Structure 1
Amino acid sequence: MNPKALLSFLLVTYPSVIIGLTTNFNSRSTTSLFAKKQQNRKSSSSKAPASKSVGGFGSAPKPASDGKVRTVSGFAGSGTKPLRVAANTFDKLRKDYGKEYTSDVYCKSPLNDPELLWFVGKVNIRPNTAATPDQAVIAQKRLILEYAKRELRPQNLGGKYASSLELWLAPGDSEMDAVQNKVSITKVDGSVADLSEDFSVNDVGYNPEIYVGDEVEKGGLRIKRDDDGNPIKPVFEVNQ
């Protein structure tokens, strides 16, 4: 029997078997072809020239204002290294020069509460340099704010409250006096453009506040001050 006659006989006698065979064959062929196309695509993409972008953000990072600021992007996790460098610098300066050159830092969002300020850490400076406490904050402002609103107190400083954040300074290691309304604080104004020509970010450090236990949910040290940074309530003593 010739092939055409045999095929006709089988189609009439066993139609389901023949249709199944042809369907499976076509399916395997299509799958095989798709796999080859995918493999070719992977091969061609792997041979493509490397992009000039750095860090996955599409462009090379810009110089950090000639070593005057500690930069950090708004992406989660981007501040880990700058924060570590800032903390290590703080520890070194503190060890070498003591607490005399340290200032406490508070952060406020008037959109959340115009009187409430949250303690967010400390800055310090290297003496006999161009650095001042205000410049220490300005040079690390983005780092401090990103940490405060993302990691420390997003409930009060992040999201819809983040657009109006302010940083304020108090005397170093004055947390207890601040809570007892014994000290006033000063607002930090200015921008990177106000940093002195001889200023170097290597001359300043930042020690971030870290919450533990119930502080994570309820928050840590906070104070209330008026628009001029003065205590709203009278001084009180803490029972020992």
Structure 2
Amino acid sequence: MKTLTLFLLSAIIVQAAAFTPSLPLSSSTSSSTSTILYAKKKSNQKKTSGGGFGASSQTSKPSTQTRSVSGYTGSGTKPLAKAANTFDQIRKVYGKEGTSDLYMRSPLNDPEIFWYVGKVVRRLDRDEQMEGEILPNEMEAVISQKRLIMEYAKHQLRPQNFGGPYASSLELWIAPGDSEMDAVQNKISLVKVTGSTKDLREGFSVSDVGFNPEIYVGDEQKDGGLRVKRDENGDPVKDVFEINS
């Protein structure tokens, strides 16, 4: 009798160990779409196609020359924070002289509308904090951070104008630092950013440039922020006007 009891007890233990209950997912495990830069969930499976946020490039520069995102959830958070912190540090030293205003447009969305998306800054002198071997020029300050800037603008700032079917034609344009009011009053033209990361010179370091993204607050979140109208050359399409104080 004792032997039979032990046998039955052992069988119950084995069955209990093999049983895995099916539990409903809690609300805390549901996916979120509030990541600062949207991206897909990481997978170990290799992919042969390039598209999408953070897709790798065979001609990509070393990480010391570019700010990039890998394409996976949350991957843009650290580069964006680093770019913003670096912007603040360099801006304190060189002010608007080292700053360039950034505008972006998608001709597929509206060929005349250029949206303000932030600022870049660069070192103008070989100070103690400089990490590169050469001083960055204005185009390098943008090109080295171009992917991060565009991903932020199309996923966070203006997805309705830069995302989806409009993403394939995105362009970055620059204006003098802190010239937003002059741009609105049609007093200045914009200059198109040309070139690619292949054009970054040897000795350039992305640590010597920064990016300060535009952030919408209040009504801007619904109605949009600063935008200007320009032609294909970046010139104003209307006459200069003054804003009454």
Fold shared by both chains (TM-score > 0.5): yes
Q: What is the one-letter code of the residue matched to 1:170?
A: A
Q: How does 1:48-87 map to 2 (within 5 A)?
A: 56-58=42-44, 65-87=62-84
CA shift for structure 1 position 78: 2.0
Higher-Rg structure is 1
Residues 73-113 of structure 1, C-alpha deviation per residue, up to 9 Å, x if partnerless? 34453211101100000000011122111000001001100
Q: Is the 8 A contact 2:109 2:162 kept in 1?
A: yes
Query: Which residue does the alignment assign to 1:155?
Result: 160
Aligned residues between the structures: 197
Q: Is the 8 A contact 2:98 2:177 kept in 1?
A: yes
Compared CA separation, residues 190 and 143, structure 1 to 2 (3 A): same
Q: CA RMSD in A?
A: 2.6
Q: Which of 197, 200, 203 matches 1:198?
A: 203
| Sequence identity percentage | 60
Q: Provide TM-score, normalisation by structure 2.
A: 0.74
Give SS of 2:88's match: helix
Residues 155-211 of structure 1, C-alpha deviation per residue, up to 9 Å, x if partnerless? 111111111100000000000000000000110011111001111000100000010
Q: Is the 8 A contact 2:61 2:198 kept in 1?
A: no
Q: Is the 8 A contact 1:112 1:157 kept in 2?
A: yes
Q: Is the 8 A contact 2:42 2:73 kept in 1?
A: no
Give SS of 2:231's match: coil
Give SS of 1:104's match: strand
Give SS of 2:102's match: strand
Query: Which residue does the alignment assign to 1:171?
Result: 176
In 2, Cα distance between the equivalents of 1:170 and 1:74? Answer: 29
Q: Provide TM-score, normalisation by structure 1.
A: 0.75
Structure 1: any 5+ residue segments left out of the alignment? 1-28, 40-54
Query: Which residue does the alignment assign to 1:88?
Result: 85
Compared CA separation, residues 74 and 165, structure 1 to 2 (3 A): farther
Residues 101-132 of structure 1, C-alpha deviation per residue, up to 9 Å, x if partnerless? 10000010011001111000000101134311
Query: Which residue does the alignment assign to 1:183?
Result: 188
Residues 135-160 of structure 1, C-alpha deviation per residue, up to 9 Å, x if partnerless? 11110011000100011011111111
Structure 2: any 5+ residue segments left out of the alignment? 1-10, 22-40, 47-55, 126-133
The 10-residue stretch of structure 1 (76-85 or 223-232) with the greater mean CA deviation from structure 2: 76-85
Give SS of 2:155's match: helix
Give SS of 1:65's match: coil
Q: Deviation above 6 Å: which 4+ runs of structure 1?
A: 59-63
